[in-house]
A and B are shown apart, each in its own frame.
Chain A
């Protein structure tokens, strides 16, 4: 008797279950970085903007390199955005507020092009949201920008922008074509 009752309860449960499963709630992807803008400004105020914009998880990203002048010093600023929702969210602040846990690395294949850090975290160690980019001779190459989360800033060369010993995990990794004229 008890068993029969239990069985009927179970059968009712199944019947209740057997209607269509309802739509999932689309998660709010607030952590995602869709866009990286690398803005370089020379002393006349002329700006060059390099951009990597990836709204579809790697399907047809917009990648825009830049033309730089030779023998020029640029003030460079990185801005990270999440453009999935409205309003567009600036992720740069998240990076700055956790500056000790983040560091950008710049690697250029253009001869004579150097990038120096122009900001510090709470431990007076570089982050790389602000940088100084200087060019020498004309040339063509690439600029790779990598953001590492929880790197070991005390490892050899890391404070000088060497990525090899940095560790941590890669949050961003983009490569731009650069043309120094």
Chain B
């Protein structure tokens, strides 16, 4: 993966009023580095409407003289920063002060947006929109796995879920536009149903405990945040198209937006289609996918105090699963692993998606209002509903392949009220209450006893959060209480079938404290400590039956208790000088009563053969790790970046490793950016960049041979290349991107990809992309 995401901090402008004088208005300004206030030289400023541009001088200053009153779009671009557009209604002589983040690139620090969001001591990293668009063919998980400490738990190439500092599934909160994503997160083969192309940024919080959000607050949060509509009265849009050779995939995304005093709107649509992917030596039949998503956002300011927005998103995907990965019993699995090529491998490429496949649709409707009591206090109200419809198709007899083998319909409704007060004594207070109800129903037409029961769960939560800035340091603390009621209806396995009702009630308490302190310049240190409780999820309590995902019979345990987690994180951040900056995060999480699926000694002899029986158990566990990111500017516009992740998970009670923990890995990159703008066909070509990177994933050795049916795969190394540039011509701005992934066409298997039992991972892919903005 590529990460050349660069931060651009929005601009603050001040106007000085001199009387307007026809077409003799002067625009002047200064561009500074947001990190230290130093002036930035050779920043290109281009005014679309008059097709005129200029550069900042050695003092970071610029001037554009003699322009007429009117509306103008300014584009600021600078080597190493993302160019940004700004709309300005020009009536008088105006002075602009623009902040650009020149030095903080690659480190993905928290971005402060406007006056309303306050900083926190918790560590978070951001994937910016540019990176999302450059990787329009990728899913959410793959995008964020570019960050240190984030990995993907995969099932083939199309299905993947994020692992953040060793936490995933039931232990990871995923927010879609502020709403906790409600779907079938329990399944290791269930991707989060969110279109990353709807996001302006994707934020990954690698905290100790997060008290503000509903759901499992074990520390880490993935938040997909859509773009705020720009205050620009003209219709603006963006179209992105990407082609990838591996899978012959097409990805298209379009965005339209318009602002007016009455209301603002934004529309975003995505369509993707891939055919069979290819491993270096053979085709991976039936691994195509198709996705069609739309989001619509309406924003209305009723007054300067009340702002309301309505957000709708619909995510729809069909995902093919490698035909040779479909199993009858566990002997099929060991047999599949012995083979050089998976069963059912055929040389003919196809876009067709047959069983086994998943078909998922997720819809979200959100109404949100923000009411400012005064400049420093506001209320925030949200109501949201989600419908998650998941159908999974297996290869079945007598035409039943078209009847889902798993069919789940889930509704959830969420209400939240928040209050925030930024006091003049540098104290920031936040508090909120939340309520959520989730209703999950199996459709009986599957003809198969459900693995997950029908259930309804109610969660209510209350939190308080306080932070204080003291000179340069910052202190914060928060506490959360939540109550979870689960009502489940299971169907017994014995004949005659009976329905059993279960009710459980959980009280979860969590809290966090944090401290961020600038050590002697240039180092900053932040420490966080968090305690969290997570109640067992429905699958952990009540699942029963054959689970293809584990090739065994899975048995929930109705007596499970809540997990208790204590996590500490320590982040050391340093901008040593203009040429070297780094960030080191260390964390240790101890989870008591950690819930995990353990194979028992029992082999159940069914008519389909013998199946291992898996049971949910609880033990004490620990996860220890560190993430490092570093950037060296070696001059000549060449940057070196590196990211290293180390993680070790242990079951302390049994003295065994934890399964599905990411193996240690490192990503090293070198990039070059041509520092000048090139004049080409009346247009301007800039930000011409080349990047080359090397990824190394070590073998997961911290696992006992009894913990997997087959040995863990060998480590591997991949090489990738990227070329990108921007082209500005009149009102259009174009961006070209070209990539080669897995250049050497290396044959490899990854421990975190379940398809490793059956087939090699993806071979080389060449990608071409184009984004047009108007």
Interface residues of A (CB under 8 A from B): 3, 6-7, 10, 13-14, 17-18, 20-21, 23-31, 33-36, 52, 54-59, 61, 63, 84, 94-95, 97-98, 101, 148-150, 152, 167-174
What separation, in Å, do the CA atoms of A3 and B450 have in the docked complex? 40
B454 and A31 contacting across the interface, CB-CB below 8 Å: no
Is the C-beta of B532 less than 8 angstroms from some C-beta in chain A? no
Whether A61 touches B487, Cβ cut-off 8 Å, given contacts A150-B395, A167-B343, is: no
A24 touches B487 (CB 8 A): no
* A169-B332 in contact (CB<8A): yes
Taking a contact as CB atoms closer than 8 A, the residue among A14, A23, A150 that contacts B413 in the complex is: A14
B233 proximal to A (CB < 8 A): no
B398 contacts A172, CB within 8 Å? Answer: no
Question: Would you list 21 pairs from A and B whose C-beta atoms are within 8 A, ordered by A residue?
Answer: A3-B381, A6-B367, A7-B381, A7-B383, A10-B413, A13-B413, A17-B413, A20-B487, A21-B454, A24-B442, A26-B497, A27-B442, A27-B450, A56-B493, A56-B494, A57-B604, A58-B553, A167-B343, A168-B343, A171-B608, A174-B609
A61 touching B606 in the complex, CB below 8 Å, given contacts A6-B383, A55-B495, A56-B493: yes
Residues of A within 8 A of B487 (CB): 20-21
Other A-B pairs beyond A57-B493, A58-B604, 8, CB < 8 Å = A3-B381, A24-B444, A27-B446, A31-B447, A59-B493, A61-B607, A169-B395, A173-B331
B607 near A28: Cβ-Cβ < 8 Å:
no
Interface string of B48-85 (1 = CB under 8 A from A): 00000000000000000000000000000000000000
Interface size class of B (residues with CB under 8 A): 35 or more
Please tell me if the beta carbons of A29 and B326 are within 8 angstroms of each other in the complex.
no
Say yes or no for B545: interface residue by CB 8 A criterion. yes
Task: List residues of chain B with CB within 8 A of the CB of A150.
Answer: 344, 395
Q: Which residues of A contact B608 (CB under 8 A)?
A: 170-173
Within 8 A of A (CB), among B455-507: 455-456, 458, 487, 489, 491, 493-495, 497, 499
Within 8 A of A (CB), among B605-651: 605-611
* Residues of B276-309 contacting chain A, CB below 8 A: 308
Say whether B668 faces chain A, with CB atoms less than 8 Å apart. Answer: no
Please report the C-alpha to C-alpha distance between residue A33 and residue B448 in the assembled complex, in whole angstroms: 12
Closest 8 CB pairs of A and B: A170-B328, A173-B609, A58-B604, A167-B343, A169-B328, A58-B606, A25-B444, A27-B444
Does B262 sit at the interface, judged by CB under 8 A? no
Least Cβ distance of A170 to chain B in Å? Answer: 3
Contact check, A36 vs B607: say whether CB atoms are below 8 A apart. Answer: yes
Residues in B with CB closer than 8 Å to A61 are 605-607
Judging by beta carbons under 8 Å apart, are A34 and B456 in contact? no
List of B residues within 8 angstroms of A21 by Cβ = 439, 454-456, 487, 489
Given known A57-B493, A170-B332, contact A152–B448 (CB-CB < 8 A): no
Instruction: Tell whether B116 is near chain A: CB-to-CB under 8 Å.
Output: no
Give chain B residues whose Cβ lies under 8 Å from the Cβ of A10: 383, 413, 415
Output the nearest chain A residue to B326 by Cβ-Cβ distance.
Answer: A169
**Chain A residues within 8 Å of B383, by CB:** 6-7, 10
Task: Tell me whether B236 is interfacial, beta carbon within 8 Å.
Answer: no
B442 proximity list for chain A (CB < 8 A): 24, 27
Q: How far is the CA of A7 from the CA of B445 in the complex (A)?
A: 36
CB pair B398–A98 under 8 Å, yes or no, is yes
Would you give the shortest CB distance from B418 to chain A, in whole angstroms?
14
Q: Quote the shortest CB–CB distance from B422 to chain A (angstroms).
A: 24
Say how far B300's CB is from chain A's closest CB, in angstroms: 11
Complex Cα distance, B699 from A121, in Å, reads 47
CB distance from A145 to the nearest CB of B (A): 10
Whether B344 and A167, one on each chain, are in contact in the complex, defined by CB atoms closer than 8 angstroms, is yes
Chain A nearest CB from B36 CB (Å) reads: 44
CA distance A95 to B344 in the complex (A): 20
Q: Do the beta carbons of A84 and B495 come within 8 Å of each other? A: yes
Q: Which residues 123-139 of B sit at the A interface, judged by CB distance below 8 A?
A: none
**Cα distance A152–B400 in the bound complex, in angstroms:** 20
Q: Are A57 and B606 in contact (CB under 8 A)?
A: yes
Complex CA–CA separation, A26 to B332 (angstroms)? 30
CA distance A168 to B343 in the complex (A): 7
Query: Does the CB pair B494–A59 fall under 8 Å?
Result: yes
Per the bound structure, the CA–CA distance linking A117 and B396 in Å amounts to 24
Determine whether the beta carbon of A170 is less than 8 Å from that of B609.
yes
The CA of A57 and the CA of B606, in the complex, are separated in Å by 6
Most chain B C-beta atoms within 10 Å of own C-beta, residue among A17, A57, A98, A150? A57
CB-CB < 8 A to A170: which residues of B?
A: 327-329, 331-332, 608-609
Bound-state Cα–Cα, A33 to B397, Å: 11
Q: How many angstroms between the C-alpha atoms of A101 and B344 in the bound complex?
A: 13
* 8 Å CB contact of A17 from B400, B439, B553, B604: B439
Q: Looking across the interface, which residue of chain A has its beta carbon closest to that of B455?
A: A21
B441 interface residue per 8 A CB criterion: yes
- CB < 8 Å neighbour of B491 from A7, A24, A168: A24
Q: How far is the CA of A172 from the CA of B605 in the complex (A)?
A: 11
Check B723 for interface membership: any CB of A closer than 8 A.
no
A174 cross-chain contacts in B, Cβ below 8 A: 607, 609
The smallest beta-carbon distance between A79 and chain B, in angstroms, is 13
B369: interface (CB < 8 Å): yes
Chain B residues in 8 Å Cβ range of A25: 444
Q: Write the B423-446 contact mask toward A (1 if CB under 8 angstroms, else 0).
A: 000000000000101010110111
Tell me the smallest distance from the CB of B339 to a CB of chain A, in Å: 8
Query: B331 and A54: CB pair below 8 A?
Result: no
- Residue from the set A14, A31, A84, A169 with the largest chain B CB neighbour count within 10 Å: A169
- Residues of A close to B670: CB separation below 8 A: none
With most chain A CB atoms within 10 A of its CB, the pick from B332, B369, B553 is B332
B740 at interface, CB cutoff 8 A: no
Considering only CB atoms, which chain A residue lies closest to B604 in the complex? A58
A20 to B224 Cα, complex, angstroms: 34
What distance in Å separates the Cβ of B312 from its nearest Cβ neighbour in chain A? 15
